[in-house]
Amino acid sequence: MNKKDSLIAERDHLNAERRNLIAERDHLNAERQRFLNSTSWKVTKPLRFISSLFKGMVRPRSILRKINNRLKRNSEIKKENQRRIELNKLIKAGHPISVKALHDNLNND
């Protein structure tokens, strides 16, 4: 078998595969159409519409989680600000504070 014959055989194989894929696509399209025309699909259309409206809504649990995380962050910020205020009072009062002590105090939880 020469090069030309092998290319012709490959072309024929690809054409047969293409025909099989087209037949499979047509079969799946027909099946989909039967499904869309079924009574159950038509009856549940309003329910699917209503559920699609709820898909974009945020769940209450995720809202509570976000609020809780924000409160924790705010609490940490308040603690850090309070420590800074206390350190500033000590510095203004003339107490000697080392850089290490400042660092330790600011990073202390």
Residues 27 and 14 in one domain: yes
**80 and 70 fall within a common domain:** yes
Question: Which positions ≥6 away from 41 have C-beta within 8 Å?
Answer: 35
> What is the total count of domains within the chain?
2
* Residue 63 and residue 51 share a domain: no
66-94 pLDDT, tens digit per residue, is: 778 888 888 888 888 888 888 777 777 77
Residues spanned by the domain of 53:
1-57
State the pLDDT at residue 103. 62
Q: Other CB atoms closer than 10 Å to residue 84's CB: what's the count?
A: 13
pLDDT at residue 80 in the model: 82
Pair (28, 80) in one structural domain: no
Q: Phi first, then psi: what are they for 63, rounded to 5°? A: -65, -45
Q: In this structure, are 8 and 53 located in the same domain?
A: yes
Residues 8-62 pLDDT 10s: 888 999 999 999 999 999 999 999 999 889 998 888 888 888 787 777 665 666 7
pTM, rounded to two decimals = 0.41
